[in-house]
Chains A and B, each alone.
Chain A
Amino acid sequence: MNYSRLTVVTGHYGSGKTNFSVNIALDIAAKGHKCTVIDLDIVNPYFRTADFGKLFEEHGIAVHAPVYANTNLDIPSLNIPLESILADGGYVVIDVGGDDEGAKALGRFAPLINGFADKEMLYVINKYRYLTKEPAEAVQVMREIEFSGGIACTGIVNNSNLGAETTPLTIRESLPFAEEVSKLTGLPIRATCAAEGAEADNAPELYTVKRYVHNVWEDECQ
């Protein structure tokens, strides 16, 4: 995948935004670029990008997160110096919270992001998520996100998966869904994600991902 200087990752709750963001950040860093991850999720205190601080540190990736989850602050504050981060050069990945509620935090930065040329805003979809199984439903959620965040999406990421139960068939069966979303929105499919071993052969823009977001009982007993 080729990256813009600024990648904004949005999507429905549980579509896999965080796992995708972690993957592309590591990918950008692996290409030798300076990379900053911004966790803009002010909705969900569990399973967050900021949880991967140690992993990012090992790869020289800087992390910014709102003062919110697992701090002693109940009301989130968006003390993120996006202007200076963008001015600093390097690549930036913004992981936005789910749905239109999550995208509200984007509104604060919309004037800055809209004025920044080398950017893309990706909309992550998962055919297997309960309330966005139909292309029309997925498009509606995207429109709500765009309205709430004040930024238009520029590409689709097909991250259809069934968690640990994902197989190549799971991905293959999601391709028509992603195509339909792409057709309805007029946006290109920028990536079809598949965990290692679950890659489907005819997937457009196949992008192999690692499952970083997982449950504690899947940890090795070291």
Chain B
Amino acid sequence: MAEKSLMKGNEALAEAALRAGCKCFFGYPITPQTEIAAYLSKRMPKVGGVFLQAESEVAAINMVYGCAGSGIRCMTSSSSPGISLKSEGISYIAGADLPCVIIDVMRGGPGLGGIQPSQADYYQITKGVGHGDYNIIVLAPSTVQEMADCVTRAFDLADKYRMPAVVLADGLLGQMMEPVAFDDAEIVMSDASKKPWAANGHGNKRQHNIINSLYLQAPELERTIRERYERYAEIEKNETKAVADYCDDADIVVVAYGSTARLAKSAVDEARKQGIKAGAFRPVTLYPFPKNELNDAVKNAKKVLVVEMSMGQMVDDVKLAINCSKPVEFYGRTGGVIPAPAEILAKIKEMGGND
């Protein structure tokens, strides 16, 4: 590994994109993720890439749609209200089977909401964002290093399955600073050489490729959707990822993702110090949701506690994943308020963690 640098989460996301060969970035500023655009506006011209500040979020996602169609790795980033604006474009990109990466650094909603961290867009992101029968890959980092690693993985998965992949962070992860290491490999911008489907000019040497999401014949549309769901089944089988700590003998397993998982982990560490058998489970992939890993982690538990910076969204997926085999309780703060480790510890105790 190369020398470590101190980076903001947003900067790490941006640098990792460059290093994954993301040649084009289309964005529009919004707190708390504007550093991604600011950083790439300085770095992109130096490595032969394109930085473009679009006139709106809607324009930016449609630029991604066009660029992805040409087979070049590309990315856009935004925060909650901006992602809502991009939702139509994301649906089109999914419907046209195109790979791209979208960053969502969540802030408090609904509406303009606030600028402090939030996880209240879990439903929105993990259920596809826009209209229609489709999924997108969702990765949830919880450290600045993982912000970088998730971007690399998102580009690889997007290309592998020809679909959009989202890195879902929050304002806290975007703004905080931690040491990060990148490998020393030279930055190589992507091209369409391994993408026979790309609409990048046939040069009179092959049939032209068509990028499209419009199928007016119902059976044909159903066929494309079913084909897509076969790919989703592969993804659900092969691409889940989660981290479990002290779950084997835990009476209470605390499930949380992103920055909240670090708060939960602090509470669990303290609980263990006080002799309470608590465990921590952190989904890294939110779609596909790590169902098998979760079932494994809670198999000896008496209760499950889900902690989120929302009024409770992932808690539904947890209940579904374990088929309500254990009692599931919820603790959350919302609107940009961050749950303190002490609050989570108090909830663990309230649930009988002292018994």
Contact = CB atoms under 8 A, between A and B. Distances in A.
A127 to B, nearest CB: 9
A71 B8 CA distance: 24
Nearest to A161: B6
Interface string A101-134: 0000000000000000000000000101111010
Interface of A: 13-14, 44-47, 70, 126, 128-131, 133, 161-165, 215-222
A163 B178 contact: yes
A126 B4 CA distance: 12
Contact of A129 (B5, B172, B259, B262): B5
B18 to A, nearest CB: 12
A125 B35 CA distance: 19
A14 B15 contact: no
A59 B125 CA distance: 45
Interface of B: 4-8, 11, 15, 31-32, 35, 39, 42, 115-116, 171-172, 175-180, 259, 262-263, 265-267, 270, 338, 340-342, 345
Contacts of B42: 131
A220 B267 CA distance: 9
Contacts, number: 74
Given A14-B177, A217-B265, A133 B8 contact: no
Q: What 10 pairs between A and B have smallest CB-CB spacing? A: A46-B175, A221-B270, A217-B262, A217-B266, A128-B6, A130-B5, A162-B179, A221-B342, A217-B263, A221-B341
A221 B105 CA distance: 27
A47 to B, nearest CB: 6
A217 B341 contact: yes
Given A130-B6, A130-B7, A163 B179 contact: yes
B32 A46 contact: yes
Given A14-B177, A46-B171, A217-B266, A130 B341 contact: no
Interface centre among A45, A131, A217, A220 (most CB of B within 10 A): A217
A131 B18 CA distance: 14
Contacts of B7: 14, 129-130
B266 A221 contact: yes
A222 B266 CA distance: 12
B5 A216 contact: no
A162 B179 CA distance: 6
Given A215-B176, A219-B341, A221-B267, 18 more contacts: A13-B8, A44-B175, A45-B31, A46-B172, A128-B6, A130-B180, A131-B39, A162-B4, A162-B179, A164-B178, A165-B179, A215-B172, A215-B262, A216-B263, A216-B341, A217-B259, A221-B341, A221-B345
A161 B6 CA distance: 8
B175 A47 contact: yes
